[in-house]
Every structure is written in C-alpha cells, then in structure tokens.
Amino acid sequence: MNLGNLLRIAHAFDASFFFSINAQLKLSDAQSDTSRASGSLPVYNFRDVNEFRLPIGCRLVGVEITDGATELPRFRHPLCAAYVFGGERGSLSEAILKRCEFVVKIPTRFSINVGMAGAIVLYDRLISLGGYPGRPVAPGRGPEIPPPHKWAHR
C-alpha cells in the first residue's frame, strides 16, 4: 500500500519520475495507486544501490530521522532533486545515505508513515519553490499569486 501511495503522491505533486530500489513488489500490484501514476510518469525500478542512477544534475535528498539531518522547514530544496525514503519498517541503508547529497528529517516526535512523509516533503517543496509568496502575518488568506509571465510574440 505504501509504495502505491508514494507513487500516487508523486503523481499528484507533478513529479518528473518515480524510482524504487529493491522494491518487494511490482508497482502494477500496488492497489493504492488509484491515479494510475505508473502510466503517467516514468517509473524506474533498480535492483540495488549499485544499479541506482539519477539524471545528470539531479541531486539526491534522503529523508531520514538521523543525527545531522537538516530539519525540513530549514532546508532549501534543490531545483533538480530526487527524494529517497526508507521502507515502512526500516531506515535508509548506509549505502544509500552515502549517495545522498542532503539528508532531511521531518520534525515530528516519532516516525510517521512513509506515504505521509512523502506527501509532507513534496508539499514543502511546492510551497517553497512553487512561486508562492510568504505567509501573511495576520490569519487568513495572503496576497494573490501573480500570473505567469507571458512573452510577447512578434
């Protein structure tokens, strides 16, 4: 269920691709992927960390509760990034942590569901890189988001 949830969440947040490393099931068996994301974005399945590859310029961000990890609200997301999460009952391996350029943690009192962690991280990325203005000082709705720039055609 969690693998399908993560795939659906990635699709909802308009991810460019999805990957798994040593997944224990086929994504086609992930019944929780109700958006049919695997037919809408590229999905890469790697057998192990040694086989794992990212596009050129893509920076790997590990999401893990570990000493030295940056708390998510204090982290500036790279423009070109991929996020890796540990299994539901496990942590990221030392081998994958060594491949991460950054490691972040969600500042919760204890570990949360991996699908929920994925949603929080991608939402944080959206609000920090999505062109939204800073939060208003007073409660309620802030200023409108300016429309995207339109180039004049000649």
Which residue segments constitute the domains of the chain, with CATH numbers given?
Answer: 2-129 (3.40.1280.10)
Q: Give the 3-state secondary structure of residue 96.
A: helix
Among 9, 2, 1, 4, smallest CA distance to 120 is for: 9
Q: Is a pLDDT exceeding 70 seen at residue 38?
A: no
Give the pLDDT confidence score for residue 130 in this predicted structure: 87
Give the pLDDT confidence score for residue 132 in this predicted structure: 81
Q: Is a pLDDT exceeding 90 seen at residue 57?
A: yes
Rounded to 5 degrees, what angle do the CA atoms 54, 111, 28 make? 50
Q: Is a pLDDT exceeding 80 seen at residue 85?
A: yes
Give the pLDDT confidence score for residue 148 in this predicted structure: 76
Give the whole-number percent of the chain exceeding pLDDT 90: 47
Q: How many CA atoms lie less than 13 Å away from 119 in the CB half-sphere?
A: 12
Task: Please state the pTM of the whole predicted model.
Answer: 0.83
